[in-house]
């Protein structure tokens, strides 16, 4: 699991991750945004906060290997700064 805070808005992080990661589905629900990356391999939850947003990344038990963890960590790090 990856859990970080960012000064960037959740919408900016979402846009950045969608550009970097293949086959990303976006679900917006009551203020938060969820991105499903790959075929349910990763779940990224973006929640607005008083200073930007929080980012929570979880790997699914049914990971298909489509996006390796090192790539996911790299892309998240690039998008939250």
Domain annotation for the chain: domains and CATH numbers: 2-80 (3.30.310.180)
Angle between helices 69-80 and 10-20 (to 10 degrees): 140
By CB atoms closer than 10 A (0-12, 13-18, 19+), residue 68 is: exposed
Among candidates 48, 54, 12, 14, which has minimal Cα distance to 34? Answer: 14
Q: Which residues does 64 contact at the CB level (< 8 Å), separation at least 6? A: 38, 39, 40, 41
pLDDT of residue 64: 65
pLDDT digits (tens, 9 = 90+) for 15-74: 999 999 978 999 998 889 999 998 778 999 999 999 999 999 998 876 566 788 899 999
CB 76, CB 1: distance < 8 Å: no
């Amino acid at each position: 699991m990856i859990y970080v805070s960012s000064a960037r808005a959740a919408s900016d992080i979402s846009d950045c991750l969608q550009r970097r990661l293949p086959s990303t589905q976006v679900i917006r629900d009551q203020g938060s945004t969820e991105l499903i990356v790959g075929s349910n391999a990763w779940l990224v939850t973006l929640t607005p906060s008083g200073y930007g947003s929080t980012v929570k990344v979880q790997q699914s038990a049914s990971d298909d290997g489509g996006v390796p963890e090192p790539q996911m960590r790299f892309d998240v790090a690039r998008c939250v700064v």
